[in-house]
Amino acid sequence: MKEKVILAYSGGLDTTVIIPWLKENYDYDVVCVCINVGQGNELDGLEDRAKASGAVKLYIEDVVDEFVDDYVVPCVKAGAVYENKYLLGTSMARPVIAKRLVEIARLENATAICHGATGKGNDQVRFELGIKALAPDLKIIAPWRIWDISSREEEIEYCKDHGIHLPFSADNSYSRDRNLWHISHEGLELEDPANAPDYDHLLVLGVSPEKAPDEGETLTLSFEKGIPTTLNGQSMKVSEIIEKLNALGGQHGVGIVDIVENRVVGMKSRGVYETPGGTILMEAHTALEELILDRDTLAYKKGIGDKFADVVYEGKWFTPLREALQAFVDSTQEYVTGDVKLKLYKGNIIKQGTTSPYSLYNESIASFTTGELYNHKDAEGFINLFGLSLKVRAMKQGGLK
């Protein structure tokens, strides 16, 4: 029997070409594995395409809820945002995909895993770190770092030469990655940072703020221990909440980000991300934490969130550091419970009120009206001590002069 290779299969041109290439160059039986993390209709027709290209088997694995509950939710709790803008849509999905690829490899007794990520991107790092952490004995094959194919035209010609005729064209289009949390866009006019994005051509999940309705829409999200539980009073899974928020946010032009980011491999890359539901969730979670977390914890958690984002972006999910960071974050979420009301309007998310049984906001203290818990006279002694080092320094410098 031939050895087996597990191919991370999307059904696109790149991974379709890889099937005959693997058979020709390694004489493997190719087992395709498509991991469903919420790509929608991109999964249609994959089985016929994989078999027509020479695969012996195709798995379509639905891990949407695992992706959301075990990877997305921890990032929401952490407030993990890479370089102040990117909500980690692609980054969060890669470890759960790597995990399932390894599981199928064990099931099929395969000797290798192959992916179609390019030699310039982050995904090669994320996939391979995940595989190495979970299955260090498996061989990893990355065709884009090996073969001499350099264009879509050459890929299509390679298929034709091997008797594979598929409905792909060589026309230029954006490079996209989609899951339940977001969709990313790269290429075409975006490759020049001087160009404005062609939103009429580009957007998939929603509209630009200019084309959003003139009337806003209000919604209420409820959280328990940092986890979203209800939308507008209706209990549902987190994946269902994200799906509904994607529709609402997209309709109102929410969650469109144009960013030049620093890739792991050292280059800068420009892309546009649509994350309507995720942007709303992150905003609501942040609003709730403002009420509940004390000053020191909130400030320290901000640094932890930034580090968490770096770890996820760099593909280091299956590491002791990520586990330790997540343990800290989870400890901060014990009382992050309450309701957040927001208004969506032309790309904006506007607070409409936040409540929690664990709120540290005390109107008696914060009000301009003097309350029992705060004496204005106490501030004088506090300021004297708080500014003592500044005063001593100024006196010393004045004396030296």
The binding site for L-aspartate comprises 118, 122-123
How many degrees, rounded to 5, is the angle at CA 249 between CA 248 and CA 251? 65
Asked if 334 and 281 count as a contact pair (C-beta separation under 8 A), the reply is no
Q: Is-catalytic flag, 148?
A: no
Give a three-class secondary structure readout of the chain: CCCEEEEECCCCHHHHHHHHHHHHHHCCEEEEEEEECCCHHHHCCHHHHHHHCCCCEEEEEECHHHHHHHHHHHHHHHCCCECCCECCHHHHHHHHHHHHHHHHHHHHCCCEEECCCCCCCCHHHHHHHHHHHHCCCCEEECHHHCCCCCCHHHHHHHHHHCCCCCCCCCCCCCEEEECCCCEEEECHHHHCCCCCCCHHHHCCCCCCHHHCCCCCEEEEEEEECCEEEEECCEECCHHHHHHHHHHHHHHCCCCEEEEEEECCCCCEEEEEEECHHHHHHHHHHHHHHHHHCCHHHHHHHHHHHHHHHHHHHCCCCCCHHHHHHHHHHHHHCCCCCEEEEEEEECCEEEEEEEECCCCCCCHHHHCCCCCCCCCCCHHHHHHHHHCHHHHHHHHHHHHHC
Of 14, 222, 239, 270, catalytic: 14
Of 152, 175, 269, 359, catalytic: 175
Q: Is-catalytic flag, 356?
A: no
Of 49, 53, 94, 270, catalytic: 94
Residues annotated within a binding site for L-citrulline: 86, 91, 122, 126, 175, 184, 261, 273
Q: Is-catalytic flag, 14?
A: yes
User: For residues 62 and 40, what is the distance between their CA atoms, to the nearest angstrom?
Assistant: 11
User: For residues 377 and 98, what is the distance between their CA atoms, to the nearest angstrom?
Assistant: 61
Residues annotated within a binding site: 8-16, 86, 91, 116, 118, 122-123, 126, 175, 184, 261, 273
* Bridge partner list, 355: 339
Asked if 10 and 117 count as a contact pair (C-beta separation under 8 A), the reply is no
Residues annotated within a binding site for ATP: 8-16, 116
Of 53, 100, 123, 178, catalytic: 123
Q: Is-catalytic flag, 389?
A: no
Buried b (16+ CB within 10 A) or exposed e, 48-78: ebbeebbbbbbbebebbebbbeebbbbbbbb
Q: Which amino acids are annotated catalytic? A: 14, 94, 123, 175
